[in-house]
Structure 1
């Protein structure tokens, strides 16, 4: 009786219903079992799953299914990063409400994910826009506020006019908004911040804990973003004023070469320095222009250096030189102190600035093999050397001088060793509607008043009408804004900024461990059992934003007593992009491949198979219509193989990698050859699954086994032990392939008469004795050139191999007229006859 034509729609629907009814992917903490927490970065509910999602989630699902079959207690959840600009902007564009837009998209995308057969524990599903989720992050905020880790201040911020909101530094990419690509401008606004800088040292030190588990590229990106610099803080007194300017420098050894001072346009001392200066208005105008420049451009090496004199001077603490103070466009307030001691002979930016404005240069470090002259220098000298023109420090190697100069200045309180970081505090205020409200009240009498924890959540009024220009309706919504002060009861105003959406994504992976807990954000026992995440999968584009914020958040929650973990993700896999015609898929390029159409035509299994076979997970994948057609043909080939065996009466319910006893005795000949190939395939696939999840080579090994089964089936179906060997090999194919194409494998497993679901079937172990060959093939060379091949007994000793090699007809022909000088045997590989 045949199986009928392979129909992926029927087969996949059947088994998705089966898994749902049996609840086989639902898990609870179980101290008796080893756990494995695999997680992919959750999606924005944009309305459609794209091929990048399919790749990400298919990788994770293979891992989850594989680890489950290896006997591990696997947590594999899914949820929705539902707040933020993408959903709000899309809703405005489609003339609907963000809530309606988001919840409908969640419904549609959930159906798509279920159609792909992913093994999620759907009981743990969460959406970050629901009050039962964000009330806990409001609590975290209040606790951070109490600890001084959350604060509000007036600050220059990155403003996206298109999105009508502030952006964190990490959300500005080359001067443009990370979401809409509009140019970012600078504004002064009262904003809420998280003091991520308080954890800068730990964030950079703990990168060592992630070595081997995270890609080196991501570790380097985070290290550079945090930007630890070891140097010194030096104080320069302003001439004739009771003012001091503090600078941070990594080069205190060049202090004697400092000839002027450069300040950022936003430096708070500028107004005091220009007081009474007849060109003060020109300085103010310059400062306004520079403050509105893009920060990335201001920090670029190729920026045209410009500045303006403030009319004030400061005193070099080591030389006593009067140094003119300038405001310069390349100095940033966000790094160091916003003031730079300019050493033009030894810093290229200062060199360019000094040449442009005819400012003095002083060489203080000479290389060993040359004498530098400021008048003839064409660029700054920044390499090591020996100090000159530096008084008591002359002749000292510059590295040694760094410490000596700081110690000397320390005695008079004008210098101290300092560590500086590039990392700035995380701005969490957003002036948009679709986000979690910040739980603070502004009272005329009491000032900033936290909302009492008992009154959480502060609910976002989802019935508020959004505005077409993107501005938040909350400031105009009296029912939301007007509130009694929790402290004094007087009329007060609720905070109308909402949280940055990265707030929600910085802890969602912890909430999955007890997603339905109504009394606490986490169940302590479940959190301790499941975390950290064992494998986290997502794109490299999140290396700075999400991954850095998540690391910070976990450390804060540890210090608040919620967890004992210092890092959220033990291992990180950054999957490559899915390309079409060499470019990332996008609507604008017209190269998008719709997963729904692929599933409708070929099925979920074929779609999964192609996307996992076409490239290793960490590499980019080029979409190929021929490739997915090939994947579909292979699945049909497996289907027909099972059907042929069934029709021939050769399909038996034997286990995968069956023991010799199940084959009716010690196999020989073709039966033994197939068994060897089967067990070698099990060995290879297991190795590739364990070793960085090389699914493509694992699938290739299974294709080889299927090919060998086709070649041997006509001979083996009637041979003693043959049907059992074929059935064992087919069972092995189905078990090993099932994490990749679970629906087809479940169907054929059941058709074989096997018991239970493949989803919960143990992973097979190969038998090393099955891999032993009776004979091995050796290459025979004459003077290093291959002249033949021969099969010898696997246990033949070297002398027997030598003698057998000398009987090979082609070898003897190439030895005519020559004498044998040496005969070299490389066991198991080759024989080389050296003759002359």
Structure 2
């Protein structure tokens, strides 16, 4: 089935996109994969999201472009080819495990073979996966593709002319084993990690300094103590003319960062505990204390403590203050330790002036071992303080200033006074392909993209502000990155890629030749036919800017009319509307891309949207070849089929949470899809032609579900959309059949159509097959996605009342052990209870909560005198029991009163058929006195039920 529809799509050239001036365009893309192996499950998730967007937007009548390409820049392919050439067993076995023959593996000693073989296989796998890609526009990077090579050379000449490139001395990720700069593709782990600037504070002792690195120099005003690892070993070293105490790894790092360092000996952490050192800025001595979170092998191994604004520091202090035995163990004065209190230094708005203690209490943090919660608190507080914090009056020369501004002022002052220096650490661990732990090195005469430029950053922040982000909570992460991102080493000495136009000793590295290639997609299928002599600067100026088309034609030999057509196509498609990527690329590729777009293009060509997702897990664990849970796209589609893989990945997650591939879901998904096809085939043309009162309700349900699914899809929440249409709507359909006995022929047809069109972006092969089985013509992809409308709540509420009453009645009969009742009486709530609920809705806060005292004072005067006592009990029950069980949006359900007696009376025949007894519906004030105990139990939309 899947091959059949893939063939039909290809024959119809369904995904070959051309400009149409009478139709709105939608350009979606995703980062191209690196071509040193097959595509895996992680790739598949991100590319599926892009494909679902592509298909959804087509069904919204957009002219969609979804292109794809392949990244070959850098040293990994060259290094792997060299290992094959040398007969290295590990590399050869890796290729064998991919299914390559011995003969084929021999050819992989040439880097060019990698750039041919794996892109071809990726295209094959993605076609089998059902992606709606315009493959005419695909390409590879590096000088092996002259047109793209020319495009990147043009880009860098423009960046140089615009003064976005500088040459100087800057920090880079460095492999000490190979003594080389390490790009993302040169890493076994730590992709995306970068050098991060710290302020290294110096704490003066009698004859030496303790040094502690901080990202928040503005918090020095709140220092209360220092933390060390009491069980750790430190190094005493001469740095310049001073003696510093630091971690054992730090001397080597300092040397790489331009310091003259001579190691003098070791000192134990326990020997530092209880000593006092002069803290920079505050001019007071502070004590050294032991900590469980401080590690002598990380950073300087010493931490300055600011318990007012650091969850770790606060909890560390609380733990020590709660343990006199620990103080005794380390020879500390317990009274002195317990006297230490957090010092307020900034106002964090809603988090107050002592945010760390507040957050620790809110998150239920009890001790330092709760690392996950502490990390969450740390990240939440760091971002919040950075964006909203204002320094208090006690912070002297930065009083009243935003944290963002105060940070730089304090840092500069401390450095100027000799109380601190700049120091760099990586944002996370990085292991190079040469099995070495990477560090930060300051290098000379290196070319950098000046991402640290204040002016360039402001322009890029403007671009970000105008963008749509999915999910929206990713915005704070982008804002944070733009604030700390510094200059980026954009060239390397080795590897595949494009040579720097003015200095061919350098090769442009992999994160720098992949920032604006989305623009290249718009004309890639035209440029691939040009030779190197035609790839003039003037040609790229004319296509991607406002360059002279006549000059471009003269210099390139391309007809002017063609150049104008290519420019028009670029202007039609650009800017792109959405780029779908993993969240790990926020800190580099996505932010780099945004910077480069603002440098290369006018505002009308800046990106419109980013969508980011988490890392794919398998059964809750990270993918790993050693764990045996690493899957390629090829093997999964071969085992399950494309739609099952798509369905399972779609179900795996949405938003920033890490999606989880569940094998159990994949094992059953195929049956679910086959059952749907069987249902469609079996029910074609079926149904009654006469009307039934329930028909109107089910039409409204279908419209409501479609409306919700469409809204979810607009926000890229395709899991939500699929669950609504493929799981929730069929449950309503079952109820509809239970109520009506048989569906109406037109409603059944509409139901099948809505489900088919709704699942088309997710499981396109199944949807096309079901569409065809329904007797419909044309591709389902050319049909509109179901939009629906907001429902008539009265209609929905009325049927919910019937359904809830049925469930409650069955529960009562089951508990009472009654199999054959003689009569069932439904007693609907009196008017005053509805009035009480309406008043509660008006008094409810944003979370749907109601204050009982306020409700009682507002409602009791309106309750009939004979019902006062019952009224107080009802209000208490409603606030304390009913509202929590109904959820935060309960007000909408009770916003408009429905005639419960009329609705239930109209359904008497339905209840009679089910329970085979007499059914009576009465209002509470009409109920017999013998039913009094039951009558009092009635609530709006939950009638009391009396059984005899």
- TM normalised by structure 2 equals 0.52
Aligned residue number for residue 599 of structure 2: 556
Q: Does 1:622 align with 2:684?
A: no
CA deviations 1:124-155 (Å, max 9, x no partner) are 22322222112222222223333433233355
Matches of 1:808 and 1:13, distance apart in 2: 58
Matches of 1:538 and 1:151, distance apart in 2: 29
- How has the CA–CA distance of structure 1 residues 148 and 690 changed in structure 2, closer, same or farther, with 3 Å as cutoff? closer
Q: Does 1:633 align with 2:671?
A: yes
Structure 2 unpaired stretches of 5+: 86-108, 200-215, 223-238, 244-248, 262-266, 270-279, 284-293, 311-335, 347-391, 418-451, 455-482, 528-538, 546-567, 813-823, 829-895, 909-918
Shift of 1:670: 6.8
- How has the CA–CA distance of structure 1 residues 764 and 664 changed in structure 2, closer, same or farther, with 3 Å as cutoff? farther
Aligned residue number for residue 166 of structure 1: 181
Confirm or deny: 8 A CA contact 1:642 1:748 kept in the other structure.
Answer: yes
Q: Secondary structure at the match of 1:571?
A: strand
Confirm or deny: 8 A CA contact 2:927 2:935 kept in the other structure.
Answer: no
Matches of 1:113 and 1:343, distance apart in 2: 52
Confirm or deny: 8 A CA contact 1:164 1:432 kept in the other structure.
Answer: no
Aligned residue number for residue 605 of structure 1: 643
Aligned residue number for residue 57 of structure 2: 67
Q: Secondary structure at the match of 1:830?
A: coil
CA deviations 1:581-620 (Å, max 9, x no partner) are x321221221123433332233211211122124335433
Q: Secondary structure at the match of 1:435?
A: coil
Matches of 2:612 and 2:397, distance apart in 1: 44
Among 86, 109, 112, the alignment partner of 2:122 is 109
Confirm or deny: 8 A CA contact 1:535 1:573 kept in the other structure.
Answer: no
Matches of 1:384 and 1:680, distance apart in 2: 51
Q: Secondary structure at the match of 1:41?
A: coil
Among 597, 605, 625, the alignment partner of 1:587 is 625
Aligned residue number for residue 15 of structure 2: 25
Q: Does 1:542 align with 2:551?
A: no
Among 720, 729, 744, the alignment partner of 2:751 is 729
Shift of 1:102: 1.6
Among 155, 175, 193, the alignment partner of 1:140 is 155
Q: Secondary structure at the match of 2:612?
A: strand
Matches of 1:377 and 1:768, distance apart in 2: 61
Confirm or deny: 8 A CA contact 2:27 2:576 kept in the other structure.
Answer: yes
Aligned residue number for residue 254 of structure 2: 291
Among 501, 513, 518, the alignment partner of 2:522 is 513
Confirm or deny: 8 A CA contact 2:934 2:944 kept in the other structure.
Answer: no
Matches of 2:593 and 2:569, distance apart in 1: 19
Shift of 1:749: 1.9
Confirm or deny: 8 A CA contact 1:91 1:98 kept in the other structure.
Answer: yes
- How has the CA–CA distance of structure 1 residues 768 and 88 changed in structure 2, closer, same or farther, with 3 Å as cutoff? same
Matches of 2:637 and 2:755, distance apart in 1: 23
Equivalent residues in 2 for 1:810-825, closer than 5 Å: 816=930, 818=932
Matches of 1:819 and 1:716, distance apart in 2: 34
Q: Does 1:690 align with 2:714?
A: yes
- How has the CA–CA distance of structure 1 residues 156 and 749 changed in structure 2, closer, same or farther, with 3 Å as cutoff? closer
- How has the CA–CA distance of structure 1 residues 114 and 694 changed in structure 2, closer, same or farther, with 3 Å as cutoff? closer
Aligned residue number for residue 502 of structure 1: 511
- How has the CA–CA distance of structure 1 residues 739 and 569 changed in structure 2, closer, same or farther, with 3 Å as cutoff? same
Confirm or deny: 8 A CA contact 1:16 1:115 kept in the other structure.
Answer: yes
Aligned residue number for residue 570 of structure 1: 609
Confirm or deny: 8 A CA contact 2:221 2:282 kept in the other structure.
Answer: no
- How has the CA–CA distance of structure 1 residues 760 and 831 changed in structure 2, closer, same or farther, with 3 Å as cutoff? same
CA deviations 1:676-731 (Å, max 9, x no partner) are 554444334323323441424523532344567689889999x7x84443333222
Give RMSD over aligned pairs.
6.1
CA deviations 1:354-392 (Å, max 9, x no partner) are xxxxxxxxxxxxxxxxxxxxxx89999994589xxxxxx
Among 144, 161, 165, the alignment partner of 1:150 is 165
Matches of 2:681 and 2:486, distance apart in 1: 64
Q: Does 1:830 align with 2:845?
A: no
Shift of 1:65: 0.7
- How has the CA–CA distance of structure 1 residues 141 and 597 changed in structure 2, closer, same or farther, with 3 Å as cutoff? closer
Q: Does 1:440 align with 2:460?
A: no
- How has the CA–CA distance of structure 1 residues 798 and 124 changed in structure 2, closer, same or farther, with 3 Å as cutoff? same
Moved more, 426-435 or 152-161: 152-161
- How has the CA–CA distance of structure 1 residues 401 and 708 changed in structure 2, closer, same or farther, with 3 Å as cutoff? closer
Matches of 1:344 and 1:577, distance apart in 2: 36
- How has the CA–CA distance of structure 1 residues 164 and 88 changed in structure 2, closer, same or farther, with 3 Å as cutoff? farther
Q: What is the aligned length?
A: 608
Matches of 1:165 and 1:60, distance apart in 2: 36
Aligned residue number for residue 141 of structure 2: 128
Shift of 1:755: 2.1
Q: As a proportion of its length, which structure holds more helix?
A: 2
Equivalent residues in 2 for 1:329-340, closer than 5 Å: none
Moved more, 422-431 or 515-524: 515-524
Confirm or deny: 8 A CA contact 1:678 1:729 kept in the other structure.
Answer: yes
Confirm or deny: 8 A CA contact 2:614 2:659 kept in the other structure.
Answer: no
Matches of 1:345 and 1:80, distance apart in 2: 48
Structure 1 unpaired stretches of 5+: 1-10, 172-176, 185-217, 230-247, 255-269, 280-285, 306-315, 320-329, 336-341, 350-375, 387-395, 442-493, 652-662
Confirm or deny: 8 A CA contact 2:826 2:920 kept in the other structure.
Answer: no
Aligned residue number for residue 667 of structure 1: 691
